[in-house]
Each structure stands twice: as structure tokens, then as C-alpha cells.
Amino acid sequence: MAGPVTYIAQVLSLIRKEMLALVKDPANRTLLFMPAIMQALLFGYGATYDLTHAPYAVLDQSRGAASTELLARLDGTGVFERVATLTSSGQIAAMIDSGEALLVIALPADFEARLAAGREAPLQLILDGRNSSTAGLASAYVGAVVAAYNGTRGVSTPVTIERRAWFNPNLESRWNMMPALIAALSMMQTLLLAALSVAREREQGTFDQLLVTPLTPLQILIGKALPSMLVGIFQSTLIFLIILFWFQIPLNGSVWLLYLGLAMFTLASVGIGLSISAVSLTMQQAMLYTFMLIMPLMLLSGLLTPVRNMPEALQVATFVNPLRFGVDLVRRVYLEGATFGDVAFNFVPLLAVAAVTLPLAAWLFRNRLA
Amino acid sequence: MSDGGATITATGLRKTFAGPDGHAIAAIDDISLTVHPGKLTALVGPDGAGKTTLIRMIAGLLKPDAGSLCVLGIDVAADPQAVQDRISYMPQRFGLYEDLSVQENLDLYADLHGVPQKERKERFARMLEMTDMARFTERPAGKLSGGMKQKLGLACTLVRSPDLLLLDEPSVGVDPLSRRDLWKIVQQLVDDEKLSVIVSTAYMDEAERCAQVFVMNRGRLLAEGPPGDLKKQAAGLTFTATPPEGMPARELQARLIDAPDLIIDAVPRGGSVRFIRRPEADEARFFELLHDALVEARPEEIEDAFMMMLRRQERQDRKTPAEPAAASVAAKRRDNPDKPVIVVRDLVRKFGDFTAVASTSFDVAPGEIFGLLGPNGAGKTTTFRMLCGLLPATSGHLEVAGLNLRNARAEARGRIGYVSQKFALYGNLSVRENLEFFGGAYGLRGKALRTRIAASLERFDLDPAMQSGLLPAGYKQRLAMATGLLHEPDILFLDEPTSGIDPLARRAFWHTITSLAGDGVTIIITTHFMEEAEYCDRIAIQDAGEMLALGTPRAVRKEAGDEGMDMNNAFIAIVEQGRAARNRKPSAA
């Protein structure tokens, strides 16, 4: 009796209902694009490891031509900004403690004399180690400035490093971060949307009404998964466009491959979301589970810190995290222009997650004991 | 109370709310009333009459938009706290802490109200004795039945002695047995402590127990007075008609209610039809209408007067459109009229150690209206959910239209319709979108779908563009029915479909149901309105998971002791007999 046309028509009417319910709610409508745009801009401007305008203080006890030139070079990088000129070593601690300066450069009184005599002239760098990564970065910059200064003085350095950073010539952390957001930001929304979709119906009692219709669990699954996926991909597109046109980070790979990867990644996310939804009895439960899950998913994704740096056990755990492979896939396609062959292995764990969570969700629709 | 003045005086009271669609709705529309101390006073009216709003204003929780309101001699709007210090208010859903025990709940409310320790012991003992809960003090409140929770709520409200007790629909969702207990407690308080009590209710029989009754509808006061005075307006117009042998009472009832120019109201009750004659009814036509029935006069009741007032207001307002036409669905062809459509054998459902349904067996024939009745927690909803395939049975045999819906193929589910207890359609979709979705889910599309939707909209008098979540309760229920019937099912499942809708809408609803059954649709219905059992061909009464009675309403009444008693009393008698038998069993074994 139920031919393929009827089957598809039934699924389509469910999809239509889901989309209508989504669009008709004004709160939902803003949720569809506002957070994605806001977060993309916030991350683009706010979340950067690059050092700019790092405040520093100087204690120049030599007051010679050499020290003046060195400091001028430091100021000229644009990375550092002098906030104070100290007169005694007693003032150093206060500068660092108060956080007024990230680092203090102390040039000893015999600095000029030692240089003139052709001897080694040490300068002291006091760093605020409370934020180790910025401190490290700042010290590296100062090192580079000093090395350059040494070069002009004709001091020979036997080995020099010529750096060429591929895919991100200026090593801007924004370039590293932003493409990954195409996957990460939309995941939060997709996960939440999928997690709420069944839980909302259970809470409002409409799910029973749905279960007594001739719709099969598979049909309900497709009808629930597709709208969430569409929303996820729509949000990814928004972020993609912001990155490409607003932040002007060039796309090196194929758009088609990017979207194939995103589709697969979104499918896995929706699978997780629907499984959460199917075990939850209320929207509150579904939200709680989702928020509990989002944090580890983000941390173990390689979005903020490389997976390589994690302990062995956690690295294994990342294999069930679709975001890890989503982030990796998008980054590689976007920045390095990877081909399908290069990123094919990313599809395997994504498919595996989808293959487990989606049938689980479908089974739970009917077998979750109320 | 020391002062001899009125407990409450209200003049020109008005309160409007912004409706869900933005229009202002007058919840209280120019009400003036006086309530006297030491009496039991009832606010009676259907849902949405404004009872809760009025009670909340008296309790100082809402400010009136206009008019004045004095409670215990204090202007509520000016000093709500002074009023609140002297009253006790039990809202519809009382805030019990479900994880705390009965005793802990009492302690908590005593603490909140600052009841001195030395007074507590005596007060608690009296409350526990009155509510018959001394045995359950250690039980968590969440594990009590609906009726017991309500009694505990009342006990918590009364941890201190107020000057005025406000009860907002204390008997909603409470089965007849618990309702009776609850009223006994309230009556005792009035008699023993000379407490002034204001209680709101939608049950007419409850109003009859009160000294003073205010009848409300749509924010207006329709009448006031002692019940005896109120019902006088129906004097001489109330009759009982007994149908000829072999004709179900509901058929006669349908005939009467279809003649609104002769009959004000008609309901089946105790195998006969109680009706109110229109005073100006034409004699000849009146006798023709009732030619085959045995008509006897009966004493008027407050419910008769209430129905007359409602119908009058409805006529004046002309807001309520005509009841949905009973246009018939194409008569169902029955493959085998004698073969039951539902077969249940030794059905059992356990939740852990708890047996929700114990070994239940029954059959339902095609075209039958089958009612599942029982107190809260009796197992009727569990049975119902198993029948619809929403819950697996622990053991036993279950067949609906020859299949077990739980594991039947999808098409089998296409043969049943389902209307749930709560409004379970998509509130932010329009009426048409809901119908389109469910039609689509049932495999209807194109022209067939459009035709059915058009027919449903006309039949249930629905506006397709309305957002379904904003419909009034009665219309939501119509939409739920329209949705359940869109695919012309063989069997229609209805779970407490009439709770929360007013008496007129309920009459209209049953009109639709009886005409559906006439067309051969099998109806399975649960209800807690006992008088609605009279519309059923057969009913099953469950308590504590056991089937206590099964048969025609007449047979069940006979089993209860008296064929002529009303269903409410029959129900109480049967449940009590069942409980007594259960209590005897362990000692005999």
C-alpha cells in the first residue's frame, strides 16, 4: 500500500513541519543566524594569540647610544608599546605585579661600555609568567629584535634560520582559528537544535501523536535529521562567507570538498544530538546533556590546542569526537587545499559516529520507556 | 471573627489581560459581590470563567484594573500583605515538595508561616487525622496519588488557622472518592472552626453543598444566591425521558439536543435522558419529539439552572458559533461485524515492582463506544497507552484491528486515530498546517488531502488560518478531533478528551462521538467525568490495576447495587467494594 512515493511524501511533510516550526518561532529565527555571525566576529577579533601592543617597561641604566637604538628597534616592531621608563630596579616588581607591563627590559649601567669593548653585554628580561604563552611569545620577539640588532653590529651568528610558514605566511593565529570555526560554531547550534527537536515534542506531548501515525522510525529519523542538517550547513555557510569576505582568508581548496566534508560532519553531529534528544524526557534534560558534552567536544577537537599535545589516553578519546575530524578536514581543505585523497581518512570516524548514533536515536524513539 | 462585617466586598471589579494574540481579554468584567463570614461560598463556572483571576485578586496576588475590593475589612490593593497574613490560599497546583515526606512538607510550611512549635503538634495531629494521612507521614509527597497530594496540599495550607480559606478548584483531576473526602474535610472546617471558605469549582454537584453560590461565565457574574434559590428558575421544566427497550439513552439524547427550540439541554443519565424543556416550547411538537419515550417530571437541580444560564448567555452573545455539524463520515464497511476489533487477554504491565495493570481481559466490538474509567492511578491510562501501541505490555495478548500496534507494520497504525489528554498538536503552526502535516503523515496528499481538510474544517467549524496554540480550549479539542479523524480511522482512541472544556463544548463533543459510532467507528475513551460514562455502550472500571466491573452502564449500576443510581455513586460503590474485597483477601489467605 505504502509505495515509495507515499513514503517520500510522508517524510517531506514531516520535514516541512519541522522547518515551519523552526521558522515560525521568532526566538528560533534569531537563533538561526545571529549567534553564528556574532561568534564568528568575536572569534575573529577576540580570539587571537598574536602579540600586539604588548606593554613593556624599560630600566635603562646605561643611557647610551646602543641602548637607545635597541629600544627604538623594539618600539618600531609595533608589537611592543612602552608604558613606563623606570629609574630604579625597585620599581620592577610593582610593574609586573600590577600587570601594567608584560615585561621589563633592564639594561645595566655597563651595557654601553661592554659593547664598545667588544665584550658580551647581557640585558635582563623580566617576564610575567602568569600567562606562559604570551610571555614565551614576547621573549621570542625580543630575541628576534636583539638578533637583528646583533646582525647590524656585524656580530656573526654562525647558523641563521630562514622561516617560511606555509599556508599561513604571517603565522596569524586568526588563519588557524577561523576556518575551524566553520565546523565548530555550527556544531554547537546543530547539536542543540537536534537535541531539542525530539525532547520538545516529548515534553509537549506531541511525540505520542507522532508515534501513533504510520510514520516509521526511519522516516521520523530522516524527517528530524535533515532539517537540523540544513540549518547546520546554512550556519557553516554564513561563517564561511564571513571568513572569506570579511576577514579575507583565502580559500585554497575545493568548495565542493569542503561542503562534502561539512555534510558528513553535520550528519555525525545531528546523530549525537538526536541520540541525546531521544533519551531526554524534557527540553531541560536535553539542554543539560548538550552543554555537558559541548565543552569536552571543543577541548578534544584540536580547535584551540593541537591534539598532538594531549596525553595518549585523551588522544584516543578524540577518535569518537566528530569535531576533531571536522576541524581537521575543514582546516586542511581551506588552508592547504587538500584533495579528497588527503582527507579521506577523516570521513571514516565521522561515518562511524553517524552509523552508531542515528540508528540508536531511531531505536530510542519508540523504546525509550516513559 | 470579631467584626460582624462582610468577609469580602467587591464593587465594579475588572481585570483585563493581553490575550495571546495581543487583544485585551476581560478575565473579570464588572463584578460586584459580597461574601459573608463563617460560610462555605462557591464560585462556579466553566473553565475560563474568571474564577482563578478573582481568587488571586482576593488573595492580593493580582491588582484589579478597576473597582474596589475589600477583604476582611482591608483594601487588598492598598495593603496586600495585611490580607495575606490572615488568609490561606491553595492554588490549583499546590507547591508540594515531591522529594520531601508528608511530615517534612508539613514542617516546611509550618516554618514558612512561622507557626510556633508548641501549636504544631496539636495542629499537625488534627490535620493528619482529618486527611486520614497519619499512616503516610514518612512517604515522599511525589509518591502519593493525585487525591492524596491534594489533601496534603490542603493540610499544608491549613498549618495555621486563617480567617479566610481560599481554595482554587481543589477537586480538579481528583477522582470521585478523593473528591468526596476533600469536601468532607472542608465541611468539617466550616462546621467546627466557623471558618470562611471560598472554593471555586467546575462541578455543579459541589456547588450544591455550599451556603452561597456565585455563578460565573466569561468574566461575568450570571447569578448568585443559595443553591436552593438558584435552581428555582428551572422549576417545572426538568424531566426524565426513558427510551423504549433496546434504544440506547444516548440516541434519544441526541434527538432531543438536536431540537434546540424545544429543549434547552439533555444528557443521558442512569439509562434515561434528563432534559430541560424550553418554557415556550410548542406542546404538540414537544410530544411528537418524545412520542416513544416515557417522560416523568424530576426535581430541578442546580446544574439545570446553570445550563439554562449558560445557554441564555450563549444566545445573547451569539459568539459561540453553532456546534459542529454531525455530518456523517462515509459509513464504514465492516468486514465482519461480529468479530471484535480489540481483543485483550490477561494484559499485565509492571513498572519495577509496581503492577500498574493486573491481568486485564476484554473485547470491543466494531462501532462500540467503550469507556475506560477509574480513579487516578488506577491503570486506565496505562491500559490505554498499551492499546495504542505507545507502551509495551509486560505480558498478555493484545490485538487491535487484528494486530499488536506496538510491533505492527506502519499501515496498521494508519487505521487508528488518537486524541490525547493534553493538546498535543503543534501550537505555533496554524490549524491548516497541523492538518496538512498529520494528513501527510497518514499518507494523504494532493487532492485527497485538500478535500479531507476542507471537509474537516467545515465539519468542526475551524478557521484554517488561526494559530492552533491560541485557540480556546474547546476549539483546540475540535482541532485534535479533526486531526484524529482526518484519515477516517476504524478505531478512535480518546484519552480524557473532555477535561478542561466547558459543559456546552462537552455536549457538542459527545454529539460528534455518538454520530461517529453510528457510522461504525469504534471509540475507546477514558474519562474522569462519571456522567459521561452514560454515553458509552460499555464501560470498564479499573482500580489499582484490577478490572472491577465491565459491562453496559446499566449493568454496572446494577452491580453497584441500584440500577437507578447515578454513575458517580455507582463508581464510588464499585471502587469501595473492590477495595474492601482486596483488604479481606490477605487475611483470608
Q: pLDDT tens digits, residue range B394-414? A: 888 888 887 776 677 677 788
Q: Measuring CA to CA, which residue among B260, B279, B143, B340 is closest to residue B508?
A: B260
- Average pLDDT of the segment spanning B224-242: 88
C-beta atoms of A214 and B440 within 8 A: no
- Average pLDDT of the segment spanning A235-254: 90
Chain A residues with CB inside 8 Å of B422's CB? 204-205
| pLDDT digit string, tens, across residues A54-68 | 888 998 888 888 888
CA distance B484 to chain A (A): 9
Residues in chain B: 589
**Segment among B149-153, B471-475, B479-483 with least mean pLDDT:** B471-475
CATH class of the domain whose range is B339-403+490-589: alpha beta
C-beta atoms of B441 and A215 within 8 A: yes
C-alpha cell at A342: 588527503
Q: Measuring CA to CA, which residue among B249, B274, B273, B495 is closest to residue B374?
A: B495
Going by pLDDT thresholds of 50, 70 and 90, the confidence category of residue A224 is very high
Q: How far apart are CA B485 and CA B477, in angstroms?
A: 12
Compute the C-alpha angle B444/B447/B452, nearest 5°: 65
- Average pLDDT of the segment spanning A87-103: 86
CA distance B218 to chain A (A): 27
Of B423, B424, B443, the CB nearest to A2: B443
Q: Which residue of A has its CA nearest to B411?
A: A214
C-alpha cell at A269: 553531529
Top-ranked range on mean pLDDT: pick from A320-334, B129-143, B501-515: A320-334
C-beta atoms of A2 and B390 within 8 A: no
Say if the ipTM goes beyond 0.90: no
Cβ B480 vs Cβ B497: under 8 Å? yes
C-beta atoms of A210 and B388 within 8 A: no
Of A6, A24, A25, the CB nearest to B443: A6
| Exposure b/e, B502-516, CB count within 10 A at least 16 = b | bbbbbbbbbbbbbbb
Q: How far apart are CA A166 and CA A158, in angstroms?
A: 25
Q: Residues of B at the A interface (Cβ-Cβ below 8 Å)?
A: 388-391, 405, 410-414, 416, 418, 420-429, 433, 436-443, 445, 483, 493
Q: What are phi and psi of A22, to 5 degrees?
A: -70, -45
B320 has pLDDT over 50: no
CATH of B8-224, one of 3.90.1150.10, 3.40.50.720, 2.40.50.100, 3.40.50.300: 3.40.50.300
C-beta atoms of B427 and A6 within 8 A: no
C-beta atoms of B440 and A21 within 8 A: no
Give the full edge-to-edge strand order of the sheet including B24-35. Answer: B24-35, B8-18, B66-71, B74-75
Compute the C-alpha angle B483/B489/B494, nearest 5°: 60
**Which domains does chain A carry?**
17-47+172-367 (no CATH), 54-152 (3.40.1710.10)
Going by pLDDT thresholds of 50, 70 and 90, the confidence category of residue A1 is very low
Provide the 10 A C-beta neighbour count for residue B561.
Answer: 12
Domain residue limits, chain B? 8-224, 231-317, 339-403+490-589, 426-488
Q: Supply the DSSP string of A10-63, one letter for each residue.
A: HHHHHHHHHHHHHHHSHHHHHHHHHHHHHHHHHHHHH------SEEEEEEESS-
Determine the CATH number of domain B231-317. 3.30.70
C-alpha cell at A101: 607591563
Q: How far apart are CA A292 and CA A304, in angstroms?
A: 18
> What pLDDT score does B329 carry?
43
> What pLDDT score does B336 carry?
55
> What pLDDT score does B318 carry?
57
Q: How far apart are CA B375 and CA B377, in angstroms?
A: 6
Q: Which residue of A has its CA nearest to B406?
A: A366
CA distance B415 to chain A (A): 9
C-beta atoms of B441 and A208 within 8 A: no
- Average pLDDT, rounded, for chain B: 83
The rounded Cα A173 to chain-centroid distance in angstroms is: 10
Provide the 10 A C-beta neighbour count for residue B338.
Answer: 7
Q: How far apart are CA B128 and CA B106, in angstroms?
A: 10
Q: Rounded to whole angstroms, what are the CA distances from B241 to A172, A283, A323, B249, B513? A: 91, 52, 74, 9, 21
Q: Rounded to whole angstroms, what are the CA distances from B444 to A7, B426, B447? A: 11, 19, 9
- Average pLDDT of the segment spanning A158-166: 68
